[in-house]
Chains A and B, each alone.
Chain A
Amino acid sequence: MAITRDEVAHLARLSRLALSDEELDHLAPQLDQIISSVAQVQEVAAEGIPPTSHATGLTNVFRDDEPVACLSPAEALFGAPAEELQRFKVPRILVEE
């Protein structure tokens, strides 16, 4: 097995996804299958070939240190669920102990 149900539950927690038991039952085997399929690539990977992270072969794509126009605060906050004092308002970060 490439990935266990417990590992999927752990990943869901890290990703802030509230998965129900039914969803875990459904998704865990699917993820396992996906990983197993992709893992077939390893069978043909030759010795001494480093894992690929980028397909283009490009390096050093840089930008000059020149300022460009920003969003206005109204534009920046347009999609915010809540705002106050021109800032994004977020729920309590630390829960009471």
Chain B
Amino acid sequence: MSLKSSVSPNYARRKAVDLIMRGLVLIATGLAIVPLVLIIGYVMIIGGSALNWEFFTDIYQPPMTVSMPNTGPIDPNDPFANLDLGALVGSEPATGQAGAGDEKGADILEAPPRGGVLHGIVGTMLITTVALLIAMPIGIMAGIFLSEFPDNSVATTVRFACDVLSGAPSIIVGVTAYILIVNAKGPDGQPLGFTGIAGSIALTFLMVPTITRTTEEVLKLVPEATREAALAMGATTWYSTFTVVVPTALSGIVTGIMLAFARGAGETAPLIMTVLGSNVLMTNLLEPMAALPLITYRYTESPFPSENTLAWGSAFVLMMLVLLVNILVRIATRNRLRMR
């Protein structure tokens, strides 16, 4: 009898179980990242191929093989100003399919992609930044309240409300914003209408719970000893919170804000109900605006292959934008002290 078996008679069985469990965990992990790899890979391959310099510097251009005659300056207040009705008529499915030899229809379907998503980049950045500027102070302050004064009925209620709201379908948030803002009567008795700022507010509804809860969680991780040290120095509670507790948890709070930014930048449903979308470059938050997810949403179902390419490119740019902002913010807020 070997020493090994005398020490643990079921050694072989335990080893086998360990091996099987490790395999199962590995398979599950692999399955979990399959969708991620598929989505990112697909968007990168198809969307990435749509990219060129024009894509970042130009706004939407209707699919054409020949340049349109100049019809004069575009009215910047008309979101559909350069929606080319002529091209749409030419591409009616009936015409396109029945008359395969129809020169015009065939031309448009085979038209190379042109134009860009500058209006979408500008719109998304503006709407999301404004939303973040509103959501950040509210979310961070509420998070501080929940973490530093955790045991009272207000905190319990707020915590519950945040959890419900962060799980709420975004279309409901959109409808709410539509009723409260877009459809609300302005001073002139007319509805306020679709505006960029309405979209920002709708996104705020989605961002605040995320920021609040992550702020609360990371502040709770700050050791009690750190708070006591500050208090023992004669600091008041708010002074110790803002000079010691928040800076200690800063990277975690930034993570929460970036999560909220990524979620806000990618939301589509609330924007459909509030900013409507636009094909021209709009920088006025009191007007309908363009946004990258709206471009993706609208042109994915377009019959024109060139517009489908635009939608993929827009999706890719959105992904890269979120990534870029994330990296820049991390560099800006990283701790410059030597920790070792």
| A and B found bound together | no
